Amino acid sequence: MTTDAELEASARAAFAAAFDGEPEGVWAAPGRVNVIGEHTDYNEGFVLPVALGQTTRAAVARRTDGRVALASVQHPGQRVELDLADLSPGTPDGWAGYPAGVVAELRERVPGGVSVLVDGDVPAGMGLSSSAALSCSVALALRDLAAPQLTTADLVDVARAAENDFVGAPTGILDQSASLLCTAGHALFLDTRDRSSEQVPLDLAAAGLVLLVVDTGTTHSHATGGYGDRRRECERAAERLDVPALRDVPDVAALAPLDDGTGEGSVLLRRARHVVTEDARVLEVVRLLRDTGDPRAVGPVLTAGHASLRDDFQISTVELDTCVAAALEAGAEGARMVGGGFGGSAIVLVEDASVDRVTEVITRRFREEGYSAPRTSLAVPSPGARRLS
């Protein structure tokens, strides 16, 4: 395992190579997996993410010429440089849109401009929030260098605004909150409405369990995918039910008025039913972790979350469904797809002693179905964003 000191040294060296100077510091922000609470954040509900060990590092130095220079170890040859005044939604685009969006949000704090080198190992497009890791590492850097009065909640808003307004990905606050607020050994129980949160101990190793992440190799793009459609459907359902957000629907029975006999009514009912039952699942998982302290107990709730995303929210894929089914057949405690949907990764809660067998069964099933081989890693609840130097 690479240490923070090694990551920092390598980001410093990459900065020096890209910009011919020294950064003022290096910051790291992790990707995340959400244990439960998918598509609840923009409905003002509950989420329960953990931070991953994989991070994005940002090596940053302020400038004096009013320019913004962005370079990425993962995108060599795609260095971007422009006047601070020329930053505008979509310019620059691609990976550089995320750090540029954060700089644009905070441009008054860095009037002389900034040089940013990013380096990271959160896989992109896999539902593990590489984009939030990128924007949060830069947001934290600019806070420490130039805007010390900003709170962590402000940084969540800055990073989210960068993604929503600059990149054009209509996300909620799950990913940015997870990256900035998670702590090692815990899941973050967050109420996305009032932003209150609790660190819930999640000691998988003590229970003899691991959380396996299976990357199906199918990618998604929130900016162009069905994510925005689902958001709009949820908004329409809340409007029809005359509640501020689906968070305010007390139970599934209260969704009945949505089903007005039209095709649209039954679609809205399904979408809303996912959100209402998913909020309940978050509360249930938190209760199980608090009361029993045994993460094994949450397995069936995760699996129920998958069925809801597949059948009611309809954002799963054949690869994700195959992965979950194969994992359960092979004896996993629970499994579900994670993230925005339409591809990406699944998580599998499994006995440490069975992880190799479960991985083998999933891999074999993928081969039989003609899908490309899945990649697996373990999610260990890790620290949130931090300054490395």
Catalytic residues: 175
* Spatial separation of the C-alpha atoms in residues 31 and 53, rounded to whole Å: 8
- Minimum gap (Å) between residue 131 Cβ and ligand GLA: 8
With CA atoms as reference, report the closest residue to 285 among 188, 209, 179: 188
Token pair of 381 as six digits: 């609840």
Q: What is the largest CA-CA distance in the chain?
A: 66
With CA atoms as reference, report the closest residue to 361 among 321, 332, 331, 330: 330
The answer for residues whose C-beta is within 8 angstroms of residue 201's C-beta and 6 or more apart is 185, 186, 289, 293
* Spatial separation of the C-alpha atoms in residues 46 and 50, rounded to whole Å: 14
With CA atoms as reference, report the closest residue to 119 among 207, 43, 29: 29
In the complex, the residues that contact ligand GLA under the rule CB under 6 A are: 34, 38-39, 41-42, 171-172, 174-175, 222, 339-340
Position with the least CB separation from ligand GLA: 171
- Minimum gap (Å) between residue 44 Cβ and ligand GLA: 12
* Spatial separation of the C-alpha atoms in residues 119 and 193, rounded to whole Å: 32
Q: Which is nearer to ligand GLA, 110 or 167 (CB)?
A: 167
- Phi, psi angles (nearest 5°) of residue 101: -60, -40
- Minimum gap (Å) between residue 311 Cβ and ligand GLA: 17
Element (H, E) at 200: strand 197-201
User: What is the sign of the dihedral through the CA atoms of 299, 301, 306 and 311?
Assistant: positive
- Minimum gap (Å) between residue 108 Cβ and ligand GLA: 26
Token pair of 139 as six digits: 């947001």
- Minimum gap (Å) between residue 165 Cβ and ligand GLA: 14
Ordered alpha helix ranges (H), 117-166: 130-146, 152-161
- Minimum gap (Å) between residue 16 Cβ and ligand GLA: 33
Token pair of 337 as six digits: 């797809």
